[in-house]
A and B are shown apart, each in its own frame.
Chain A
């Protein structure tokens, strides 16, 4: 037992104080009461059962560590590594803007523990492996790319695009890397692979070894800069998050190249191309959002969009999805520290997937795949999205496949899209980065006929906006408009008229003409983002 200083945890003292201990972070189900796909958010507590493992319990324990009523011992050390840092608790939390950041608090605690010599034995060997072999698995470093065989020779040593394979797909889920390479080649994309790729250091950061991770970061960024890449593509969200979010922070500088997950790259690349993917009819897939790709980097729609490109395949959603999706259990160092716990968490997610009736569980993360596949025990196929695409690639087709046929009839939703792109003054007052969905629905069935979203690129009297079909990643608000209401809105001459009519449809809806609004952030946060101006003008508030 020993008293420990907590310089990194103390940076979060205000957040720790503001937790109202409401318990939502593990016990909430918000599906009916606030139309959010959220149910029992803490995947760890769902397995371990006790309060100490959810965010509220963790905050109570950390407060006691800070005030000296509790001292660090082996039990605390183990407990500190039971959090997958998935971030569902943060998404659920409404106490402060963006939620109380328990994952970062847990990582700060690990950093403090490690810095003062509290280290888990198992982690030391992984640390040693990374130092000596450039991978955490203890595999020979010279064999890192040997699974590629002849493939490698066809890949140039320099290109503007680089594919970063990562340790897990180099040594464990090689099929994902092979599929990614196959697909990139099928699509005719010129890319390179680092011949001396090393561990990105993600696991070191998750364990709290920040200095050691910085060394890995320096090495890799230098290598990419040397070969002059413009874009690095990842299939591992763990590596991707580390490059995109952690590297600039721990290196204190920008990287000098763009980073993208392959699903984002494909989502853009495949958009206007007639490239077909086909499975035999009747396959039903569901998609698991990897925490590092979803909650940590806000990529939710890109994987779904590209899954929908596969003809013959239908996508059904699980009960908890996107920012509220349950974690698979592998992240935050849990898989390597407590493999049984990771597997039990994955089993819960598999059960959730089975409830949809899907025969295929897709993800976009080698770590998720590894853990979920192990837990699935053959009950359903577990694949990475990239494997699905590489395996179902048909090629470029001259005729547009039926699924991609555009509706020729001009619908009220399409008219509204055009109208909004011309009347940008409607979005005056909104901050840059605001994103909100529109769902234009059949008035009678309330089923969506068209979904699109607006992103504010520049604010001002006539803000610069982008309107895209589909659903935004992590939107602020969803506006549901019945088709007859949309038909009326597009007749408005100016903002004030539009706002007034919008307000009427909201405040005094009729059977046919109505507007509803689903808020994905607290009203306070939305006010800060500038939504208040229109809402006030429309008489919503």
Chain B
């Protein structure tokens, strides 16, 4: 059946990318029907692995001709189901072959990469040249691609100072749904370097950030780079309440002192990450891990002193550096060891730091309601990550050890998501994780404009149909 639908287009796509990069295989298609989320997709009809922008453009033109849906995918390490096809027989574009560094422009201090490059690889390759990126990638940055992060507004390592993925971007190369190739920022001028995002016209770059791949396929991304730091200091601080820890986090973030700020919100979480630490400090309810990176040791030390002052003022105290060093030294490896607790169900979203304690309180009420608090087969991690100015991620993730208790898990997970929206939380991504909670609340005018943009750019609704209900 699938082959009949796909047959006319397969040969033409093969002539674009080569036969070895097109697959109709049943098991290959099946393996692209899941990502790191618990959601399942419609099984794709065809998997295509392009290597160049022009190939993506030609494929999209063909897709419009044959009216076949196309879903772009990166490393598929996301946990909201953003890259999972919603319609049967879609072409999944596996963009991980597009993983080259196109140019390191030292004049503009930018790097241009193909969008299928993984964050960890970018950090390694840039490091060899003496540079770093600000936002380092999501916690799944081993497999997560730069394009995937951009499409889902990822936050993660380095977000306290550098914000979310989009904040680091200077320019994009995007293949529009109908196949045209667009370059944003100063890239509108073919003679100019890609050094400025806000230039000459309005910011078209932003149109494609967080779009879940519905408005275009990102093929190249230009990101700001910085010299590797010479000063780096760490500090873990214990607090007897999440309110006190959040207050310290807020004050530090207000002054933009840290590269990274991680808050472990409750004792349960502290015990999950660092059981010995929880045992050693029975009075500690929350732990704030602070990572400071600066151009010199003197600046880093000076900032550390300011952080210590804030911590003391908020009633916290120094408990070592192990957690923050581990967190930073094992940059993209901190979540995976938690899989041992069971399959993961997340509720990642954004909220002001000052509103984080309220969420933790309400989450505990929900855990109590469903008996999760005392159930060793459903466990959780409640943490927050400093983002940009004074907001944070609310990262309350459930782990289900015993699949037979999925009904309890589902209820808890659903209540959590409801509460998050009701208390002013905003998911940074949407995907299958959030759509049913988010879409009913979107302001009419906002959604109407989004629809109009989608219709204009993608008249045949080729790219990732049904995402955002479009």
A29–B141 CA distance with the chains assembled, in angstroms: 9
B376 at the interface (CB under 8 A from A): no
Q: Which residues of A contact B339 (CB under 8 A)?
A: 18-20, 22, 94-96
Contact, CB under 8 Å: B47 / A18: no
A35–B124 CA distance with the chains assembled, in angstroms: 10
Contact, CB under 8 Å: B337 / A61: no
Contact, CB under 8 Å: B121 / A541: no
Known: A21-B36, A30-B333, A34-B332. A75 touches B143 (CB 8 A): no
A470 at the interface (CB under 8 A from B): no
Chain A, residue nearest B275 (CB): A527
Q: Mark B112-129, 1 if CB is under 8 A from A, else 0.
A: 000000101101100100
Known: A95-B336, A527-B275. A17 touches B343 (CB 8 A): yes
B25 at the interface (CB under 8 A from A): yes
Contact, CB under 8 Å: A34 / B330: yes
Kindly provide the distance from the CB of B405 to the nearest chain A CB, expressed in whole angstroms.
Answer: 13
Contact, CB under 8 Å: B330 / A95: no
Q: Which of B47, B321, B330 meets A50, CB within 8 Å? A: B47
Q: Which of A31, A39, A52 meets B28, CB within 8 Å? A: A52
Kindly provide the distance from the CB of A89 to the nearest chain B CB, expressed in whole angstroms.
Answer: 12
Kindly provide the distance from the CB of A41 to the nearest chain B CB, expressed in whole angstroms.
Answer: 10
B130 at the interface (CB under 8 A from A): no
Q: Mark A70-89, 1 if CB is under 8 A from B, else 0.
A: 10000110010000000000
A76–B30 CA distance with the chains assembled, in angstroms: 12
- B residues 297-336 with Cβ under 8 Å of A? 319-323, 325-326, 329-333, 335-336
Q: Which residues of B contact A518 (CB under 8 A)?
A: 329
- A residues 93-108 with Cβ under 8 Å of B? 93-97
A49–B36 CA distance with the chains assembled, in angstroms: 19
A238 at the interface (CB under 8 A from B): no
Q: Which residues of A contact B94 (CB under 8 A)?
A: 49-51
Q: Mark A54-75, 1 if CB is under 8 A from B, else 0.
A: 0011001100100000100001
Kindly provide the distance from the CB of A323 to the nearest chain B CB, expressed in whole angstroms.
Answer: 15
Contact, CB under 8 Å: A541 / B322: yes
Contact, CB under 8 Å: B121 / A524: no
Among A17, A27, A518, A527, residue most surrounded by chain B Cβ atoms (within 10 Å): A27
Contact, CB under 8 Å: A507 / B320: yes
Known: A52-B25, A95-B337. A22 touches B77 (CB 8 A): yes
Q: Mark B401-424, 1 if CB is under 8 A from A, else 0.
A: 001000000000000000000000
Interface of A, helix, strand, loop or mixed by DSSP:
mixed
B453 at the interface (CB under 8 A from A): no
A28 at the interface (CB under 8 A from B): yes
- B residues 1-49 with Cβ under 8 Å of A? 20-21, 23, 25-28, 30-36, 47, 49
Contact, CB under 8 Å: A27 / B331: no
Q: Which residues of B contact A35 (CB under 8 A)?
A: 329
Contact, CB under 8 Å: A51 / B31: yes
B425 at the interface (CB under 8 A from A): no
Contact, CB under 8 Å: B322 / A540: yes
Contact, CB under 8 Å: B36 / A20: yes
A64–B49 CA distance with the chains assembled, in angstroms: 24
A506 at the interface (CB under 8 A from B): yes
Kindly provide the distance from the CB of A406 to the nearest chain B CB, expressed in whole angstroms.
Answer: 34
Known: A527-B276, A535-B276. A34 touches B127 (CB 8 A): no
B340 at the interface (CB under 8 A from A): yes
Contact, CB under 8 Å: B143 / A28: yes
Kindly provide the distance from the CB of A300 to the nearest chain B CB, expressed in whole angstroms.
Answer: 21
Known: A34-B333, A51-B28. A22 touches B276 (CB 8 A): no
Known: A49-B21, A94-B336, A536-B276. A23 touches B32 (CB 8 A): no
Kindly provide the distance from the CB of A280 to the nearest chain B CB, expressed in whole angstroms.
Answer: 32
A33–B26 CA distance with the chains assembled, in angstroms: 35
Q: Mark A394-424, 1 if CB is under 8 A from B, else 0.
A: 0000000000000000000000000000000
Contact, CB under 8 Å: B96 / A60: no
Chain A, residue nearest B326 (CB): A523
- A residues 203-231 with Cβ under 8 Å of B? none
A519–B144 CA distance with the chains assembled, in angstroms: 23
Kindly provide the distance from the CB of A340 to the nearest chain B CB, expressed in whole angstroms.
Answer: 12
Q: Which 8 A-B pairs have the closest CB atoms?
A: A23-B143, A57-B31, A28-B142, A94-B336, A95-B339, A32-B124, A27-B143, A522-B337
Binding site for B on A (CB under 8 A): 17-24, 26-35, 39, 49-52, 56-57, 60-61, 64, 70, 75-76, 79, 93-97, 503, 506-508, 517-519, 522-525, 527, 532, 535-536, 539-541
Report 20 cross-chain contacts, Cβ distance below 8 Å, ordered by A residue. Answer: A22-B142, A29-B120, A30-B332, A32-B124, A33-B123, A49-B20, A50-B28, A51-B94, A60-B31, A61-B30, A64-B30, A503-B320, A507-B320, A518-B329, A524-B337, A527-B276, A536-B280, A540-B320, A541-B274, A541-B322
With A22-B336, A33-B123, A523-B326 known, 19 other A-B pairs at CB within 8 A are: A17-B343, A17-B403, A18-B339, A19-B339, A20-B36, A20-B335, A23-B143, A27-B77, A28-B142, A29-B142, A33-B330, A49-B94, A57-B28, A70-B27, A76-B27, A93-B336, A506-B321, A507-B322, A535-B276
